[in-house]
């Protein structure tokens, strides 16, 4: 059985390598991290667990299939940390009907079923998150993903985060790197002006460093829907 915070869509992926791609989100409940700027506390903090559902993989897929009108679509596994649960059966059921699966996780927990994914976004948390990066666990996640399309996505809140991202870039030069400014306005409607300024500043820093193989992207869903859930 799976612990599910919410299932919603179709919408678009708002960040990372698949930005703009139509998708249905399956957001699991629970996380082994508690980042200082977490924007999905409703799927992380156990005080919200009464809102979470216990569902079989078949039940989850049936809801995905209903949302997509039975037409195969990209399914994005998110959280919380979706890697803390065994999602292999859900992926197996969906793939048998032509659905593709992507997942984002920080790389703190890994499993052999990562190799079943069509795309894996590893998003290790930078110093501003107040969480510890475990390189051994991260490398195990890379190993388990095997031939899966893998990309590296790092949220940047300050200069220290950017320097840390540069270190990871040097250690994993073959991984496509996506940087995005951190949304720090979680209790209010985000200011598009501030978001744009953050993004422009990040672009300037990346170009100044000559990181010409790095992509800078906004959180598109924040631009379109602010901090609204379920979009």
Do β-strands 22-28 and 2-12 pair in parallel, antiparallel, or remain unpaired? antiparallel
Mapped onto helix, strand or coil, the DSSP state of residue 170 is helix
pLDDT number for residue 186 = 62
User: How many residues would you count in the chain?
Assistant: 231
Q: What angle in degrees, to the nearest 10, is found between the helix axes of 88-95 and 57-67?
A: 40
Q: Would you say 80 is a known binding-site residue? A: yes
Is the domain spanning 2-225 CATH 3.20.20.70? The answer is yes
Q: Would you say 37 is a known binding-site residue? A: yes
Q: Would you say 123 is a known binding-site residue? A: yes
Q: Would you say 78 is a known binding-site residue? A: yes
User: Consecutive sets of 10 residues in the chain, 231 residues long: mean pLDDT of each?
Assistant: 97 95 97 92 91 97 98 97 98 98 97 97 96 96 92 96 98 96 75 88 97 94 76 65
pLDDT number for residue 187 = 65
- pTM given for the model: 0.93
Do β-strands 2-12 and 149-156 pair in parallel, antiparallel, or remain unpaired? unpaired
Q: Would you say 189 is a known binding-site residue? A: no
Is-contact 33 128, C-beta < 8 A? no
pLDDT number for residue 46 = 87
pLDDT number for residue 193 = 86
Q: Would you say 36 is a known binding-site residue? A: no
Q: Would you say 35 is a known binding-site residue? A: yes
Q: Which two tokens stand for residue 93?
A: 């059921």
Is-contact 218 181, C-beta < 8 A? yes
Q: Would you say 164 is a known binding-site residue? A: no
């Amino acid at each position: 059985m799976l612990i599910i915070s919410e299932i919603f869509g179709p919408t678009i992926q708002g960040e990372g390598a698949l930005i703009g791609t139509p998708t249905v989100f399956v957001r699991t409940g629970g996380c082994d991290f508690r980042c200082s700027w977490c924007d999905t506390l409703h799927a992380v903090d156990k005080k919200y667990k009464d809102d979470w559902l216990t569902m079989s993989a078949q039940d989850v897929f049936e809801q995905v299939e209903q949302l997509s009108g039975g037409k195969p679509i990209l399914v994005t596994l998110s959280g919380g940390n979706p890697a803390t649960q065994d999602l292999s059966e859900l992926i197996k059921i969906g793939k048998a009907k032509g659905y593709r699966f992507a997942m984002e996780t920080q790389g703190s927990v890994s499993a052999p079923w990562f190799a079943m994914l069509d795309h894996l976004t590893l998003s290790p948390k930078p110093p501003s998150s107040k969480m510890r990066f475990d390189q051994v666990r991260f490398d195990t996640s890379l190993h388990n993903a095997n031939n899966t399309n893998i990309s590296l996505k790092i949220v940047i809140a300050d200069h220290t985060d950017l320097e840390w991202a540069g270190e990871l870039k040097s250690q994993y030069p073959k991984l496509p790197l996506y940087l995005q400014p951190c949304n720090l306005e979680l209790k209010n409607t985000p200011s598009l002006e501030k978001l744009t300024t953050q993004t422009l500043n990040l672009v300037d820093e990346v170009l100044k460093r000559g990181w010409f193989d790095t992509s800078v992207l906004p959180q598109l869903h924040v631009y379109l829907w602010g901090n609204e859930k379920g979009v």
